[in-house]
Amino acid sequence: MSKTTESTSLYHDLDQMSVKDILQNINKEDQTVPFAVKKALPQIENLANAALEKMKKGGRLFYIGAGTSGRLGVVDASECPPTFGVDFETVIGIIAGGDSAIRKAVEFAEDHTEQAWEDLKDYKINALDTLVGIAASGETPYVLGGLKAANQHGILTGCIVCNHQSSIAKEAKYPIEVIVGPEFLTGSTRMKAGTAQKLVLNMLSTSLMIKLGKVKGNKMVDMQLTNNKLVDRGTRMVMEETSLDEQEAAYLLKKYGNVRKAVEAFLTSLQ
């Protein structure tokens, strides 16, 4: 397997570049990422459809990864409850080395082939669930071991990798390969590869939440009202759906806790 993520940068003497040149060249490389994601759309669709069928039956979505990949999975999972109002156990991100590895790298955590399955067992993962391994290289032992164990237990598996024909892509039942090529800074997969993984995670979780009914029209009607900005946004949404004034809409929103319930209560009162 050729690891394009580890290939030498197309740029040389980075330390001799001006700040302007560094920024322009990074931006030039970043612009290639959406095109790489576009090529993987059929794979993303296949995984999304397979996971959706599981989640409709009550299954959960798990992400596992190490380093940047693990952090991206944790970020995506942690943003689903406030954005879509789902339970914190609906989308779960697990990083090699545990939560402390979110802020500080844990030495050799990604090299433990059996630890991912031990971590997943803490959540009682089962055949209704979906497991997505995230690894830019496609070779991370922690992720590979987790996918192998999940397959042995009849759990739906997918992955997001940035190299062709990796061990992880071969192991996952629904692989997503986003080939971004060499990084601007040789081997720094927190850059283009990380951006690609973030884009795919956005697409995967958002499409699933929409199809699970957590969005109405184009609005986050089940979002949690965790700050004043979101309360204001929710109030405007209620106003748009009901034609109530701001004070009345704010009252309903506060009483019922989210936009969906506030609007449903209003419509019920008209019957």
Q: Tell me if residue 89 is catalytic.
A: no
Instruction: Tell me if 55 sits within 8 A of 132, measured CB to CB.
Output: no
Tokens of 74: 């944790």
**How many angstroms from the chain centroid is the CA of residue 104?**
20
Count of beta carbons in the 10 Å neighbourhood of residue 269: 9
- Find the catalytic residue in 6, 45, 79, 240: 79
- Find the catalytic residue in 29, 110, 183, 241: 110
Q: Measured between alpha carbons, how far is 179 from 4 in angstroms, rounded to an integer?
A: 8
Q: Tell me if residue 110 is catalytic.
A: yes
Instruction: List, in sequence order, every residue forming a beta bridge with 266; answer none if it has no partner.
Output: none
Catalytic residues: 79, 110
